[in-house]
Amino acid sequence: MTRVTEDYLVRIGKLIRTARQHKGLTQAELAEALTTSQSAVNRMERGQQNLSLEMIARIGEALDSEIVSLGYAGPMHLRVTGGRRLTGAIDVRSSKNAGVALLCASLLTTGKTTLRQVARIEEIYRILEVLTSIGVKARWINNGNDLELTPPARLDLEAMDADAARRTRSVLMLLGPLMHLEPHFRLPYAGGCDLGTRTVGPHLAALRQFGLRVNATDGHYHADVEPGVTPTRAIVLTERGDTVTENVLLAAARHPGVTVIRNASPNYMVQDVCFYLERLGVKVEGIGTTTLTVYGVEKIDCDVDYAPAEDPVEAMSLLAAAVVTSSELTIRRVPIEFLEIELSVLEEMGLDHDRSEEYLARNGRTRLTDLTVRPSKLTAPADKIHPMPFPGINIDNVPFFAAIAAAAHGDTLIHDWVYDNRAIYLTELNRLGANIKLLDPHRVLVQGPTTRWRAAEMMCPPALRPAVVVLLAMLAAEGTSVLRNVYVINRGYEDLAERLNSIGARIETFRDI
Ligand SMILES: CC(=O)N[C@H]1[C@@H](OP(=O)(O)OP(=O)(O)OC[C@H]2O[C@@H](n3ccc(=O)[nH]c3=O)[C@H](O)[C@@H]2O)O[C@H](CO)[C@@H](O)[C@@H]1O
Ligand SMILES: C=C(OP(=O)(O)O)C(=O)O
């Protein structure tokens, strides 16, 4: 690990102290955020503690401070000592996908939005950069667990951080709230994982019914709002997509009158957005179904406090971690409604598991359970694994079936019809000892069981879930593996390496300078 010299340590220490005081944290509070002691923070601030670049980056994150978030810290990599069993229990955190939608939704009210237990992940940081660049005040409170967002009297859309906006597809969900605030605006083109072409047509077609016209030129969506246009009948989405449903919900929330959305996604992040809207005083009927009726409120000025639910895809990731490492693991706070089809398939494959009594998430609505998974002799499923819009196997959970199928006896056909590239990335597992044949760009045949995972040094595939699947296989492979440039994992998982270490993994993070 690279160390910085004494002179720099004193200067960095001063910067840390100033940034901490600016944020209103005590040394003890910063220490808690960094999982270190108050005396260690005291030594750091006096320049008497050696600091790894990793620690400096973490301090920067804890303090939201550009000064110490060191622009020169290079890409993050992981070094994995594999072949270890996982053990104990781990909590699922709140989802990336609800988090980004709720950040966009915060623009609906002129009041303050407090979001509890928001995942501290890169994707959230990108949307936060976009929001703060246009004037929203953002503050992490309660030891960095909760996020407080206060909009300005008028947004400065011209000042939008285009680089941050281009790194996330979720910026698309600003269309719905912004159309109520500005008659003309532009948004940089949306990005996200490298998953091939993804549709925006359904967003634009649905929002047109509220008078929003969008032209895509020069790397921007140019949006113009025609006043007085109102949907004359139910809005029928051409695809049952998650973000398109959320976008229309956000447009409908401040549209005076009743909007009916058909072919809506009932998926987890959409439910979170509906629960949030209810707290804003916007009535939504049909939550959890494919027809949503929204009773819009033209002006919303209340403060709102909401805790997004736990992430089913993170739950599936942890479950897959237990399976590939043949471990007994308890995964707590699993939003069971959104994982039960996956669990039914896994039960058929022979997965030995127990579920606790159900209890409610902090939002008071989502049902949670604690799931204990035990080492099992798995057989390949009789039928292909393929995703469906909810309810069905979650599209983002499909890659985890590749790792699980690799541990099962027999051949599993996986058909990812949704994304152009994602199935291709699954063949990366072959470098770690799996036997996966690419049948065409959307289908792979996994031939199990993988008797021995092999350690390897690899670049992260440029898509979040396949990247995590590779990491899981590295946990199973004896020896030392290296996974390079894990930004894409940090887009969607909070402190994944550290949290896996807390249940017995051995993963070190390191960075290039
Ligand atoms: C921030 C966020 O919430 N991202 C999620 C969201 O992205 P998002 O809602 O943006 O997903 P897209 O709209 O890109 O849909 C994914 C792909 O599925 C296709 N499609 C979708 C629905 C449908 O009924 N028919 C159809 O063909 C789309 O054309 C697209 O190619 O949903 C995806 C699908 O669950 C998830 O992978 C993403 O993690
Ligand atoms: C595809 C994903 O996300 P995004 O829509 O943010 O690219 C994902 O979460 O796996």
The string of pLDDT tens digits covering residues 270-283 is: 999 999 999 999 99
Q: What's the chain's average pLDDT? A: 93
Minimum CA distance residue for ligand 2 atom 6: 192
Rounded to the nearest whole angstrom, what is the distance from the C-alpha of residue 177 to the centroid of ligand 1?
A: 20
Place 340 in a pLDDT band, splitting at 50, 70 and 90: very high
Mean pLDDT is lowest, of 20-24, 84-88, 393-397, 473-477, for 20-24
The string of pLDDT tens digits covering residues 409-460 is: 999 999 999 999 899 999 999 999 999 999 999 999 999 999 999 999 999 9
- 156 pLDDT above the threshold of 50: yes
Ligand 1 atom nearest to CA at 263 = 24
Is any ligand 2 atom within 6 A of the Cβ of residue 465? yes
Closest residue by Cα to residue 242 from 96, 459, 97: 97
> pLDDT value at position 341?
98
Pocket of ligand 1 (CB under 6 A): 97, 100, 169-170, 198-199, 239-244, 269, 389, 395-396, 418
**Does 449 sit behind a cis peptide bond, omega within 30 degrees of 0 on the bond before it?**
yes
Q: Kindly compute the dihedral angle of the four CA atoms of residues 256, 260, 261, 263, in this order, to the nearest 10 degrees.
A: 180
- Classified as helix, coil or strand, 499 is helix
CB of 223 closer than 8 Å to CB of 251 = no
Closest residue by Cα to residue 498 from 95, 63, 120: 120
- Which helix (H) or strand (E) segment holds residue 147: the answer is strand 146-150
Place 3 in a pLDDT band, splitting at 50, 70 and 90: very low
> pLDDT value at position 2?
41
CB of 306 closer than 8 Å to CB of 114 = yes
Average pLDDT of span 318-322:
98
CB of 95 closer than 8 Å to CB of 308 = yes
Minimum CA distance residue for ligand 1 atom 25: 239
The string of pLDDT tens digits covering residues 105-135 is: 999 999 999 999 999 999 999 999 999 999 9
Is any ligand 2 atom within 6 A of the Cβ of residue 461? no
Average pLDDT of span 285-304:
98
User: Which pair of tokens denotes residue 320?
Assistant: 């897959």
In DSSP terms, 459 is beta-bridged to 484
Average pLDDT of span 149-175:
95
How far from 289 is each of 240, 245, 264, 267, CA to CA, in Å? Answer: 11, 12, 7, 9
**Cβ neighbours of residue 41 under 8 Å, at least 6 residues apart?**
16, 20, 27, 28, 30, 31, 34
- Classified as helix, coil or strand, 332 is strand
Mutate to test the pocket of ligand 2, among 93, 95, 97 (most ligand atoms within 8 A of CB): 97
Place 334 in a pLDDT band, splitting at 50, 70 and 90: very high
Mean pLDDT is lowest, of 31-40, 324-333, 366-375, for 31-40
**Does 227 sit behind a cis peptide bond, omega within 30 degrees of 0 on the bond before it?**
no
> pTM for the complete prediction?
0.89
> pLDDT value at position 192?
58
Rounded to the nearest whole angstrom, what is the distance from the C-alpha of residue 4 to the centroid of ligand 2?
A: 36
Minimum CA distance residue for ligand 1 atom 19: 418
Mean pLDDT is lowest, of 74-78, 246-250, 444-448, 503-507, for 74-78
> pLDDT value at position 513?
63
Rounded to the nearest whole angstrom, what is the distance from the C-alpha of residue 394 to the centroid of ligand 2?
A: 12
Predicted-complex ipTM score: 0.98
Rounded to the nearest whole angstrom, what is the distance from the C-alpha of residue 244 to the centroid of ligand 1?
A: 8
Rounded to the nearest whole angstrom, what is the distance from the C-alpha of residue 154 to the centroid of ligand 2?
A: 31
Domains annotated on the chain, with CATH:
6-73 (1.10.260.40), 80-93+310-511 (3.65.10.10), 96-306 (3.65.10.10)
- 311 pLDDT above the threshold of 90: yes
- 345 pLDDT above the threshold of 50: yes
Using H for helix, E for strand and C for coil, what is the string for 17-69? HHHHHHHCCCHHHHHHHCCCCHHHHHHHHCCCCCCEHHHHHHHHHHHCCCCCC
The string of pLDDT tens digits covering residues 10-19 is: 878 888 887 8
In DSSP terms, 285 is beta-bridged to 293
pLDDT, greater one: 68 or 171:
171
Ligand 1 atom nearest to CA at 199 = 29
Using H for helix, E for strand and C for coil, what is the string for 162-200? HHHHHCCHHHHHHHHHHCCCCCEEEEECCCCCCCCCCCC
**Nearest bound ligand to the CA of residue 387:** 1
Q: How many CB atoms lie within 10 A of CB 152?
A: 11
